[in-house]
Amino acid sequence: MSSVLGEKIKITIFGESHGPAIGLVIDGLPAGLKLDEDFIKKEMARRAPGQNKLSSARQEKDQYIIESGVFEGKTTGMALCALIPNTDAHSKDYSLLKQVMRPGHGDYPGFVKYQGFNDYRGGGAFSGRLTAPLVFLGAIAKQILAKEKIYVGAHVASVGVVTDTPFNPLGEKKELFTKLSTLSLPTIDEQAGQGMATLIKTAQEVKDSVGGIIECMAIGLPVGLGEPYFDSVESRLAHALFSVPAVKALEFGQGFRLSVLAGSAANDALQIKQGKVCALTNNNGGVQGGISNGMPLVFKVGIKPTPSIGLPQKTINVVKKTNTVLEIKGRHDPCIVPRAVVVIEAVTAWTILDLYYMAKRA
């Protein structure tokens, strides 16, 4: 379902990639919040396609129209509805795909589930285009969190085999997050970014694609966010993160590496420094017992390669019930990882804000 994800701040996203518009409804925002629309526009621009040769040529500015919930620049306390018009859809590029299923996409299961009535153009409701409303939501969440001195940032940890310098698990400065947000390919190490760009261009030239990993961090979290078991920080984030198309893996802190460590190496020893409790390491990524422990929240998500590629792929025609070969045309990202960074930040910020309100309003 595309509705009511969240406990205190509930959202619904709607629309299809090639429909008139996409958008969202946010219910639960406090009244009187002054929106920084310049910041929202900057965040939306980070995700928008057509900005450089490493992304899709589709020209969408991701400009939004607030239909309700804001009056004289401040939230009213009622549901906020925002529309994001689709202005550059080339639907003719997808006419063949009514019958021929794209490998790696939601085409076939969507065709079966919705009995062939699903909008197949550009992936319809399965498209990554539907992440634009999530970025709008995240931009608002970041503004609220900043007032509580909680900040979220992310970078491209790897593309293919090219890796960036990781975040310091004990924390980074918010200024680094701000710097990363200005980069079209956000990496800490400039040379790593150049290597990633070369790899992406090479994949593009041979009509293929590449995936990668995004590392995300939140700093300033208080101790005690989350509830054990079903509303733990990890389970709530996992729910939101796996709602982002192309996310296929998730690990908190040292993740899978913890499984090969001894307990003495995996445990995060505690110490009092300047009257405050802190951990000497952050192998568990800022979460213990499903609850935030005051250390930076750190996790990585794995993003699969863009499934729309120009190389011949074996597939089926669901109408003729025959095997066939498909060479996908149209405009597609050779790597969606750089544009997905702000999306991961957005759903993280919103999830943290929801958990924060759960703790405050309990």
pLDDT for the residue 57: 58
> Distance between CA 1 and CA 113 in Å, rounded?
13
3-state SS, residue 316: strand
Amino acid type, 263 = G
For residue 186, which of 218, 219, 154, 142 has the smallest C-alpha distance? 154
Closest CA to 297 of 355, 228, 348: 348
Task: Spell out the CATH class of 3-354.
Answer: alpha beta
pLDDT of residue 209: 95
Domain segments of the chain as ranges? 3-354
Give the Cα separation of 291 and 231 in Å (integer): 9
Q: Are 146 and 219 in contact (CB under 8 A)?
A: no
pTM over 0.85? The answer is: yes
Residues 6 or more apart whose Cβ sits within 8 Å of residue 314: 103, 323, 324, 325
Burial 80-108 (b: 16+ CB within 10 A, else e): bbbbbbbeebeeebbebbbbbbbebbbbe
**In the chain, helix, strand, coil percent, each to 5?**
35, 25, 40
Q: Please tell me the distance from the alpha carbon of residue 177 to that of residue 306, in angstroms, as a whole number.
A: 26
DSSP 131: G
pLDDT tens for the chain, 362 residues long, are: 566 667 899 999 998 888 889 999 999 999 999 999 999 999 999 998 767 667 665 556 788 999 999 999 999 999 999 999 988 666 566 677 888 989 988 888 888 898 888 877 777 777 888 899 999 999 999 999 999 999 999 999 999 999 999 999 999 999 999 999 999 999 999 999 999 999 999 999 999 999 999 999 999 999 999 998 899 999 999 999 999 999 999 999 999 999 999 999 999 999 998 888 989 999 999 999 999 999 999 999 999 999 989 899 999 999 999 999 998 887 688 999 999 999 999 999 999 999 999 998 65
